Structure 1
Amino acid sequence: MGAFERWLSLWVGLAIVAGVALGSVMPDVFAQVAGWEWAGVNIPVAVLIWLMIYPMMAQVDFASIKQVGANPRGLALTLLINWAIKPFTMAALGVLFFKYIFVPWVDPATAEEYIAGMILLGVAPCTAMVFIWSQLTRGNANYTLVQVSVNDLIMVVAFAPIAGLLLGVTDIEVPWQTLLASVVLYVLLPLLAGIITRYGMFKQNAAGLEQFLLRVKPLSILGLIATVVLLFGFQAPRILAQPMAIVMIAIPLLIQTYGIFALAYWWAKRWRLSHDIAAPACMIATSNFFELAVAVAISLFGLHSGAALATVVGVLVEVPVMLSLVAIANRTRHWF
């Protein structure tokens, strides 16, 4: 890892501070940028999220899926947690906290939006940062590729139905057309672009692909930093007016993250998975594809909505919490 990646938590933190500061000093500028929309999609945010996602999708080697037979339990663990458990526990925690525990402090309409943002985070399994978590836990790189590849393929067809189901269950009106368009824009098209890059442009030139990915990798991180600045700039007035909202959203997100990791880690130990498969499997099961969640929340509910704020808090929580889980995984290697 280079110095920039190593200090990613610091850059994200500075981007958050910069976004809030700029958004409070220049609200008219951010309001104008927020108005640059087409079909309910904010163009600057869409471009930046594409910058983040595309290099990561180009890294995914779908030929590695044939290796799944070597150890199917690791993949099974990831898929069960990501698609049969995590979305539903996230929805349950959202309802518990914002319809019962935090009722005195949050109005019902805002509570619904917070729940929606949490659901979108829960339905989006991590694609990008998983490669970093796997590397930091000395995970099996090829098997991590298998898990990410299969999850990406499932996400294309499962994200919208599960999100729609849970949003409907929590009495939130589901704009299906926008939801499906978001999946196409932020999952399917970047995935296709990554496949074309890997198997079209560099099919016979692995070294060329590696060089290309190294060149575009900074765009991904710069896209992340710029997106964080924009998102917190858009939300600056709300954050400054309601700092407790950040704390209230963060509490169930923290419970969800540590709870899901504990369940997945225990499960991996029971199944006697090797640590180099168990650790990245649990990281994939725990972390969120917050880029997708943020984009869909903005498309469905608007830049200044409670749903967008909840997904932005997901960005705030994700990196430091996942680094703490990396530390736990590394210190418990002897369990496996």
Structure 2
Amino acid sequence: MSTGTTASARPVAGRLSFLDRFLAVWILAAMAAGLGLGRLVPGLGDALARVTVTGVSLPIALGLLVMMYPVLAKVRYDRLDTVTRDRRLLIPSLVLNWIVGPALMFALAWLFLPDLPEYRTGLIIVGLARCIAMVIIWNDLACGDREAAAVLVALNSVFQVIAFSALGWFYLSVLPGRLGLEQTTLNVSVWEITRSVLIFLGIPLLGGFLTRRIGEKAKGRTWYETQLIPRIGPFALYGLLFTIVVLFALQGDAITSRPLDVARIALPLLVYFALMWAGSMAAGRAVGLGHPKATTLAFTAAGNNFELAIAVAIATFGATSGQALAGVVGPLIEVPVLIGLVYVALAARRFFPQPAPPAETVAAPEGSARV
């Protein structure tokens, strides 16, 4: 996508594919379908629980893996070194993603949900699950730096496998006790959380890496990104919608009987997105990043990996838990909010130094240099 005036002049929705343009509609439809199935098929929960993978029903596990794989196949794993050399981008990204983001969600969860421990825990898990490849869509629409976004997403994906479990233990067990707050009782070991992360992130991460490596080696990067990726990309949405249908079929009673609880989950998420995005954009401007990289910093810091959060919540607390419901509400809030922030990012270009226009060749006297 061009990063010039033409791209920003076109309506944002017009630059989305048909599936992405109506993503919020599909998610709402999936929720409604799940609620309907839950009422029409009373024994659905028992049927889904008969076969499990690391504590997750097989249909849900398959849906989670399917939604994770395509977005991780989009990442350019061979470009990690381009970001590690740019300390103005790398250091703020690491700080915002792995220190500020989890801490902010922890604070908001306790501020807005002090009396709802299951939802509070679910939001904290969401805060620990940093962005993956889906955020590249919003970054691209906002004229961010595409390569930097792909590299930061790859870095977050790898770091998430290493750090997620330790951060979960710290924010759910250690920090609340140190602050005199109610601690979450985890009936699983750190290894069990790690196992869930390795299965639901590690497997699709490995699959995405191998797919890109084999595909590019066989037919080249152009074919891979223009032919293969468009074919497998929509399966991320299919997996997400399938998972939401099943989850809402199991969550039907909680949603219909406690709609105010759902609204209370949405409120801290809205505050989180606004603060993280605006703060990250300001931080990028302060350290001297141009608009494209500052935009990339903002979207990769504000976005969350709800797929991973849902997977961990289900595996740890169960598909019908409040923690899982908090993760399910996430995509419905994130999609319209980040689409709105695309417009804000485009308007914010006026606050960044504009790059100098390329030098043009002009006529010069015979025998003199041309500039």
Query: TM-score by structure 2 length?
Result: 0.84
Q: Which has the larger radius of gyration?
A: 2
Contact 1:121 1:311 in 2 (8 A): yes
Q: 1:208-252 deviations in whole A, cap 9, x for unaligned?
A: 423222221122111111112111111111100111110111111
Q: Are residues 203 and 229 of structure 1, via their aligned partners in 2, closer, same or farther at CA, if it must alter by over 3 Å?
A: same
Q: Report the more deviating stretch, 120-129 or 37-46.
A: 37-46
For the residue of structure 2 that corresponds to 1:222, the secondary structure is helix
Distance in 2 between residues matched to 1:208 and 1:256, nearest whole Å:
38
What pairs with 1:169-188 in structure 2 (closer than 5 Å)? 169=174, 170=176, 171-174=183-186, 175=188, 176-188=190-202
Residue identity in the other structure for 2:111: L
Provide the aligned length of Structure 1 versus Structure 2: 326
The answer to whether the 8 Å contact 1:138/1:276 transfers is: yes
CA distance in 1 between counterparts of 2:85 and 2:317 reads: 43
Select between 47-56 and 67-76 the one with higher mean Cα deviation.
Answer: 67-76
1:310 to 326, 335, 344: 326
Aligned partners of 2:24 and 2:332 also within 8 Å: no
1:76-118 CA-to-partner distances (Å, cap 9, x unmatched) read 222111101111111122122222xxx3xxxxxxx22112111
Cα shift at 1:73: 1.5
Q: CA deviation at 1:54?
A: 0.8
Aligned to 1:161: 166
Q: Distance in 2 between the 1:77 and 1:14 partners? A: 38
Q: Identify the residue that residue 264 of structure 1 maps to in structure 2.
A: 280
SS in 2 for 1:128: coil
Q: Does 1:319 align with 2:335?
A: yes
Equivalent in the alignment of 1:65 = 80
SS in 2 for 1:232: helix
Structure showing the higher helix proportion among its residues: 1
Q: In structure 2, do the counterparts of structure 1 residues 36 and 245 end up closer, same or farther at CA, with 3 Å as the change threshold?
A: farther
Structure 2 distance, partners of 1:38, 1:191, is 18
Kept in 1, the 8 Å contact 2:76–2:150? The answer is yes
The aligned runs of 1:115-126 (5 Å cut-off) are 115-126=120-131
Alpha carbon RMSD of aligned pairs, Å? Answer: 1.6
For 1:38, the equivalent position in structure 2 comes to 53
Partner of 1:106: none
Mapped contact 2:281–2:294 kept (Cα < 8 A): yes
SS in 2 for 1:308: helix
Partner of 1:127: 132
Measure, in 2, the Cα distance between the counterparts of 1:177 and 1:66.
31
Structure 1, unaligned stretches of length 5 or more? 104-110
1:147 aligns with 2:152: yes
Looking at structure 1, the residues matched to 140 and 46 of structure 2 have their Cα atoms a distance apart, in angstroms, of 40
Displacement after TM superposition at 1:289 (Å): 0.2
Q: Secondary structure at the match of 2:113?
A: helix
Q: Which of 243-252 and 37-46 deviates more? A: 37-46
Partner of 1:48: 63
Distance 2:289 2:102 in 1: 24
Equivalents in 2 of 1:73, 1:35: separation in Å?
50
Decide whether the 8 Å contact of 2:75 with 2:133 is kept in 1: no
- Give the alignment's TM-score, normalised by structure 1: 0.92
CA distance in 2, matches of 1:21, 1:150: 40
Given that residues 134 and 140 in structure 1 are in contact (C-alpha distance below 8 angstroms), is that contact kept between their aligned partners in structure 2?
Answer: yes
Residues 1-336 of structure 1: matches in 2 within 5 Å? 1-68=16-83, 71-99=86-114, 103=115, 111-169=116-174, 170=176, 171-174=183-186, 175=188, 176-205=190-219, 206-210=221-225, 211-336=227-352
Aligned sequence identity (%):
35
- Deviation per CA, 1:15-36, whole angstroms, max 9, x where unpaired? 1222222222323224422443
* Paired residue type of 1:117: G
Worse overlay, 292-301 or 111-120? 111-120
Q: Is the 8 A contact 1:130 1:280 kept in 2?
A: no
In the TM superposition, residue 202 of structure 1 has moved relative to its aligned partner by: 3.3
Tell me by how many angstroms 1:69 deviates: 5.2
Q: 1:180 corresponds to which letter in structure 2? A: T
CA distance in 1, matches of 2:53, 2:62: 12
Q: Which amino acid aligns with 2:317?
A: F
Moved segments of 4+, more than 4 Å: none
Give the Cα separation in 2 of the matches to 1:179 and 1:279: 32
Contact kept, 8 Å, 2:101 with 2:127, in 1: the verdict is yes
C-alpha displacement of 1:70: 5.6
SS in 1 for 2:185: coil
Give the Cα–Cα distance (whole angstroms) in 1 for the partners of residues 33 and 298 of structure 2.
33
Equivalents in 2 of 1:44, 1:295: separation in Å?
Answer: 12
C-alpha separation in 2, matches of 1:264 and 1:334: 17
Which has the bigger relative contact order, CA under 8 A and spacing at least 6? 1
